[in-house]
């Protein structure tokens, strides 16, 4: 199986081009676990497949390090845009990508020569705020989970539930950079309030244009960045009156910065970089087909 490894602010995945490579669907999850392993595989936060779509220029699927499938991936979308353009598979500066979490609209920002994608803006669509859309238990399914108290390990937090196609619990804290993400994150991910588990974001508003951000990702643990999580954090910041709707907010993640805006049109826009790491051939077991 041929693969590329790419990253968006350090959030790195193994990218598989299904136009070229035949893999049975049932092999995606075990393959994601195998390639993600840093000792016996390639080492990554998970695996992303790209292939044909009936409704968009391409279809993307994201599998976390533990083999679970996420519905969306913000950093992955920017890398998919770069891959499809620079490989000549979709040579368009505006393209659409189908995800399990809905249709995403990408605008590529090219270098002067027009052959390298430097940054990508993604229209991530409208955030979904009803409990049933994440899902979050503990209240009426059609209501928002806004600053809902939650207890973990004897400590109380308040989370705001936001779906960007995939589920996020955003928690505002005094200093996100000092939080014990590895200790608290997994307890929240597996809390009984979240029947499909959840991505957990610890966020601090430095002012009304900047957030500090740390993440515990469902199925992958601590990652350097989470695009959908950064979008969810900005939405939660607006809902809790820390940020202004329509203003661009710089989110400081472990791996660098993303610019996010929740527009008056209801859509969330994310802008940030995408980068190649390497390309190669996977020779391991775990479902790969060697041709």
Ligand X SMILES: N[C@@H](CCC[C@H](N)C(=O)O)C(=O)O
Closer to ligand X by Cβ: residue 70 or 237: 70
Closer to ligand X by Cβ: residue 45 or 57: 45
Regarding 75 and contact with ligand X (CB under 6 A), the answer is yes
Rounded Cα distance between 281 and 199, Å, is 31
Minimum CB separation from ligand X for residue 73, in Å? Answer: 4
Q: Which of 4, 226, 232, 235 binds ligand X (CB under 6 A)?
A: 226
Count other C-beta atoms under 10 Å from residue 92's C-beta.
12
Q: Which of 217, 235, 255, 268 binds ligand X (CB under 6 A)?
A: 217
Regarding 161 and contact with ligand X (CB under 6 A), the answer is no
Supply the Cα-derived Rg of the chain in whole angstroms.
Answer: 18
Which residues does the annotation place in the binding site?
11, 64, 74-75, 166, 199, 217-218, 227-228
Q: Are 93 and 107 in contact (CB under 8 A)?
A: yes
Strand partners, 226: none
Regarding 199 and contact with ligand X (CB under 6 A), the answer is yes
- The catalytic residues are 73, 226
Minimum CB separation from ligand X for residue 113, in Å? Answer: 28
Task: Pull the structure tokens for residue 76.
Answer: 């992955």
Residue closest to ligand X, measured at CB: 70
Minimum CB separation from ligand X for residue 279, in Å? Answer: 21
How many residues sit close enough to ligand X to count as binding (CB under 6 A)?
A: 19
* Nearest C-alpha neighbor of 104 from the set 122, 119, 89: 122
Regarding 49 and contact with ligand X (CB under 6 A), the answer is no
Rounded Cα distance between 6 and 278, Å, is 7
Regarding 228 and contact with ligand X (CB under 6 A), the answer is yes
Closer to ligand X by Cβ: residue 218 or 242: 218
Q: Which of 16, 33, 74, 108 binds ligand X (CB under 6 A)?
A: 74
Rounded Cα distance between 81 and 58, Å, is 9
Helices (H), 42-177: 74-86
42-72 CB burial, b ≥16 within 10 A, e <16: bebbbbbbbbeeeebbbbbbbbbbebbebbb
Q: Which helix (H) or strand (E) holds 34?
A: helix 28-36
* Interface with ligand X in residues 92-131 (CB under 6 A): none
List of residues contacting ligand X (CB under 6 A): 11, 62, 64, 70, 73-76, 166, 199, 217-220, 223, 226-229
């Amino acid at each position: 199986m041929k693969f590329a490894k790419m990253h968006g602010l350090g959030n790195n995945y193994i990218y598989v081009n299904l136009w070229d490579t035949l893999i049975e669907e049932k092999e995606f999850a075990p393959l994601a676990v195998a390639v993600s392993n840093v000792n016996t595989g390639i080492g990554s936060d998970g695996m992303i497949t790209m292939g044909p779509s009936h409704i968009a220029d391409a279809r993307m699927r994201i599998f976390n390090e533990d083999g679970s499938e996420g519905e969306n991936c913000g950093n992955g979308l920017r890398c998919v845009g770069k891959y499809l353009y620079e490989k000549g598979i979709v040579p368009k500066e505006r393209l659409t990508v189908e995800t399990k979490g809905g249709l995403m609209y990408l605008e590529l920002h090219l270098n002067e020569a027009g052959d390298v994608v430097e940054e990508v803006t993604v229209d991530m669509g409208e955030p979904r705020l009803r409990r049933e859309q994440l899902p979050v238990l503990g209240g009426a399914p059609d209501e928002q989970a806004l600053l809902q108290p939650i207890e973990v390990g004897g400590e109380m937090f308040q989370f705001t539930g936001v779906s960007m196609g995939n589920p996020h619990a955003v928690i505002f804290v005094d200093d996100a950079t000092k939080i014990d993400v590895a200790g608290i994150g997994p307890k929240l991910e597996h809390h009984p309030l979240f029947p499909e588990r959840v991505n957990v974001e610890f966020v601090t508003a430095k002012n009304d244009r900047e957030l500090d951000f740390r993440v515990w990702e469902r199925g992958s643990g601590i990652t350097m960045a989470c695009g959908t999580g950064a979008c969810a954090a900005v939405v939660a910041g607006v809902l809790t009156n820390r940020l202004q709707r329509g203003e661009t907010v710089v989110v400081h993640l472990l791996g660098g910065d993303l610019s996010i805006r929740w527009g008056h049109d209801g859509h969330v826009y994310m802008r940030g970089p995408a980068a190649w790491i390497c390309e190669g051939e996977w020779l391991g077991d775990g479902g790969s087909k060697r041709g």
